[in-house]
């Protein structure tokens, strides 16, 4: 009988990471203890040891996802020195789109669906949006920030669905229209 990797401090984090990738591939519907365990290369027993149940694992996974994306968002905008650059940053956010491939977008949809059905975790969605709005308000008025934020979301979804991407030039024009430039 052989026991391996008893000491493995990254394990918990690796499980969460694995959960995200399982979600991307199989959705929340297919995110089972066993599948995640295999993806993370940990024994099944580790699942119930590290997490209180599948829902609590999902909650942590989604928290990681939203935190990560919000950070990306913030960083991109913070780097902009003036309004013109900020506008261009927004264009970049939209066009570089789902921050890491199609899978990320799937994860985001699953997050939306899941958090809508779990009022206890509604903060995942609203907090994230508050953060992105706040990041935008460093450069724009609150009303403009609201409009841009919604626009980013909407364009990304449409870009994902219809394969025919809205060209950057057009995105730029929209951003200009929304920010009175």
Partner DNA sequence: GATGCTTACGTACAAACGTACGCTTCATGT
Partner DNA sequence: ACATGAAGCGTACGTTTGTACGTAAGCATC
Binding mask 37-76 for a second copy (x = CB under 8 A): ----------------------------------------
Q: Rounded to the nearest whole angstrom, what is the least distance from the CB of residue 50 to DNA in the complex?
A: 7
Using the rule CB under 8 A, is 83 a contact of a second copy? no
Q: How far apart are CA 171 and CA 177, in angstroms?
A: 10
**Partner that binds at residue 131, options DNA, a second copy, none, CB closer than 5 to 8 Å by kind:** none
Binds a second copy (CB under 8 A): choice among 95, 151, 168, 172: 151
**Partner that binds at residue 110, options DNA, a second copy, none, CB closer than 5 to 8 Å by kind:** a second copy
Binding mask 43-72 for DNA (x = CB under 7 A): xxxxxxx---xx------------------
Using the rule CB under 8 A, is 170 a contact of a second copy? yes
Radius of gyration of the chain (CA): 19
Binding span for DNA by CB under 7 A among 31-39, 82-90, 112-120, 146-154: 31-39
Number of alpha carbons in the 13 Å side-chain half-sphere of residue 1: 0
Binds a second copy (CB under 8 A): choice among 26, 35, 50, 172: 26
């Amino acid at each position: 009988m052989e026991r391996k990797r008893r000491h493995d401090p990254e394990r918990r984090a690796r499980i969460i990471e694995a959960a995200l990738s399982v979600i991307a591939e199989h959705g929340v519907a297919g995110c089972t203890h066993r599948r995640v365990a295999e993806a993370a290369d940990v024994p099944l027993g580790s699942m119930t040891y590290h997490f209180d149940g599948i829902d609590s694992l999902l909650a942590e996974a989604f928290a990681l996802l939203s935190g990560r994306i919000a950070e990306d968002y913030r960083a991109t905008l913070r780097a902009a020195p003036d309004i013109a650059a900020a506008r261009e940053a927004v264009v970049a956010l939209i066009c570089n789109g789902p921050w890491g491939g199609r899978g990320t977008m799937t994860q985001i949809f699953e997050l939306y669906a899941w958090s809508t059905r779990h009022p206890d975790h509604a903060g995942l969605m609203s907090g994230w949006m508050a953060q992105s709005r706040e990041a935008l308000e460093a450069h724009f008025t609150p009303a403009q920030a609201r409009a841009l934020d919604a626009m980013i979301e909407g364009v990304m979804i449409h870009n994902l669905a219809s394969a025919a991407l809205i060209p950057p030039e057009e995105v730029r024009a929209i951003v200009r229209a929304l920010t009175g430039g």
